[in-house]
Amino acid sequence: MADQPADKKFFENLSGAGKAIGVLTSGGDAQGMNAAVRAVVRMGIYVEAKVYFIYEGYQGMVDGGDNIVEVSWESVSSILQVGGTVIGSARCKEFRTREGRLKAAFNLIQRGITNLCVIGGDGSLTGANLFREEWSGLLEELAQSGKIEEEAVKKYVYLNIVGMVGSIDNDFCGTDMTIGTDSALHRIIEVVDAIMTTAQSHQRTFVLEVMGRHCGYLALVSALACGADWVFIPEYPPEEGWEEQMCVKLSENRARKKRLNIIIVAEGAIDSHNKPITSEKVKDLVVQQLGFDTRVTILGHVQRGGTPSAFDRILASRMGVEAVLALLEATPDTPACVVSLSGNQAVRLPLMECVQMTQEVQKAMDERKFCEAVRLRGRSFENNLNTYKLLSHRRPDAELPKTNFNVAVLNVGAPAAGMNAAVRSAVRVGITEGHNMFAVIDGFEGFARGQIKEISWGDVGGWTGQGGSLLGTKRTLPAKYLEKIADQMRTNNINALMVIGGFEAYESCLQLAEARARFEEFCIPICVLPATISNNVPGTDFSIGADTALNAIVETCDRIKQSASGTKRRVFIIETMGGYCGYLANMGGLAAGADAAYVFEEKFDIRELQANVEHLTEKMKTSIQRGLVLRNENSNENYTTDFIYQLYSEEGKGVFDCRKNVLGHMQQGGAPSPFDRNFGTKISAKAVQWISKKLKETYRKGKVFANTQDSVCLLGMRRRNLLFQPVVDLKDQADFVHRIPKEQWWLKLRPLMKILAKYKTSYDVSDSGQLEHVARHSPKEAETGAI
């Protein structure tokens, strides 16, 4: 460890020796809870703490006995991909009484447990905090009644609590996403996509009821992700007279030749008088007023089931490790904290601040202060709502402003799921802003050939759920067609350009910016939206399409692991795409529970390959007799997938056998994941609003003239915010030979994968450990901040 930088903080100094951690899941189950449990157990054991399962939540803690069991590394093997919670969850009335908490304290003291990791909703976490506050009093009471020694009271004087929020409703303030929400969205979108095909066949209207008794997040995001005609959520009830407005909108859509209507209702939906709006009521209204063939589908517990998505597995794994670090660093003065997600950062927040704010939302709804309720839900929720309102309802032409600006949209590079959602969003927001929107077919090649056509609101209907690129895309850069492209821009009077694509899209806009001195036509606002499965664009932590590809990889790895479990003593080498960027291999490895992931960004040699083989040989002596190794396609020109396969086969002879699998273009296909639909839709809407602002700023004497650096920007997500960054400023951050950013945030998560696979490694925790406070956002921040 001699080469560790002095300004960094590493967790090796944090030892769990002599400490005991109890982990429990409580309240409603959620996909990804098992990934969190696995991370807590393995990180706990890694830092030499004892870790205990507390089965059946607080009920198990109260009952004690076999419900509280010390666990080993292997106890959490093969649970990463399992939905629900393997340690059980139960509602417990007894824990709400002091008597019950007294029993729970006694059972914990018997095993020396003074660190609790609670995975559940706000009720479960509030209970944990109360338990912590009463802890010393409970111990004294136990000592007085002779159940424990006075010595134990001194030894176990305080209880540390760290919470992780497991809830599919995403109803907890202080975190952008709770564990399980993304997986629940996957279930909903799978159903909506399936329903859409049958609804189109019969020209039907479908009313879908989704979970969310007090929070409309699932309903709102799924409406945004599938382009629903109408959505009902508890935080934002429809205005008076909504019945007529909805029917007018549905019939207008039918008149525009739309063959289906989708209406999404959250189970807790209410009107402005706090009266419930049920799916049956909505159905009856449509049938009576319009006579449309209407069906109701109640999704129910389907939303809680199934395997966790890649996002939830990574989120839960990161949170689980962070929770153990928080427990190790806790002091008697540290308030109980909750580990949450802000943008792309794992942060710690005071538990009761979050609970209080969550309760304030309900209070605001009860008092019918609905705008306040939306604001309290946070920037992300507010942004979703504003984007949905912008995209779902077309204002009459007479009400639209008329700017007479022509804005062109094109796709560049390889196809990525979510591109079409971004194009739909751009077209509709552009029309709402009063622009004429143009679609360019087949990237810059098509541009040079004049394949440009005006595109209307209705042309992009139903695009959100379509994979690939409906506009067509090519990798060709504009440099060799500059003159022809400038001609086409002049002919079609293009005043602004939105380029959606990967590294090629970034490079293309750099070329256009550099060609401005020769071609005045390029002196217009230009915006790049990152869309590539490789996630290799400088200036952004996430690209549209990467989440869908990651889910395809993880799904395949799950199947392969299952096959390896059956045959025993088998190691699979899997090759992923990504060019020189190791994002898919690394994050796929973390989400699938791989033993190793080889990436270009972290050089490896024959010694490391040998160490991995030895590690797998040791693993085969345990009850987990299978291995999974991921390799990025360009991680090393000599250590190819074939080479690694042959090396493992030879070195593992007599211990394990080997198989290899090249995943190939299946990673590029498929319907976009909810995250990619949502991300593409929101950043595209934001980009068009930026373009509108720039057009107004640069319109002089009857023409647009923009030649400053900040008029060619890339919109990227950086840590916690969406930022417009001039493409010229990003040049220094890009490695143009390998087409990757020079610095990549996900490399910090590499040690996480190694720790969870039982390798000794060094983990930089400089970013963690700071207890923050719950931010209260002004309405203005929703426009500028996070997604």
In the block, residue with structure tokens 């019945």 = 243
For this structure, is 169 an active site residue? yes
Helix axes 583-592, 310-329, angle to 10 degrees: 70
User: Diameter of the chain by CA atoms?
Assistant: 92
Would you call 295 helix, strand, or coil by DSSP? strand
Residues 706 and 520: their CA atoms lie apart, in Å, by 9
Q: 29, 169, 595, 676: which one is catalytic?
A: 169
CB 289 within 8 A of CB 243: yes
Work out whether the CA dihedral 249, 253, 259, 264 comes out positive or negative. Answer: negative
Residue with tokens 């990161």: 318
Between CA 375 and CA 352 the distance in angstroms is: 19
Which helix or strand (DSSP H or E) is residue 321 part of?
helix 310-329
Q: Residue 680 class from Cβ within 10 Å (0-12 exposed, 13-18 middle, 19+ buried)? A: buried
Amino acid code (one letter) for 760 = K
Q: What are phi and psi of 286, to 5 degrees?
A: -65, -40
Contacts of 229 (CB under 8 A, 6+ apart): 249, 250, 253, 261, 262, 263, 392
Q: What residue type is assigned to position 391 of the chain?
A: L
Residue at 531: amino acid letter: A
Contact 228, 222 (CB under 8 A): yes
d(CA 35, CA 554): 14
Across the strands, what pairs with 163? 118, 338
**Is 54 strand, coil or helix?**
strand
- Calculate the alpha carbon distances from 563 to 558, 566, 570, 627 in Å: 9, 5, 9, 11
Nearest alpha-carbon partner for 290 in 298, 299, 282: 282
Contacts of 526 (CB under 8 A, 6+ apart): 496, 497, 498, 499, 509, 512, 513, 711, 712, 713
Catalytic machinery residues: 169
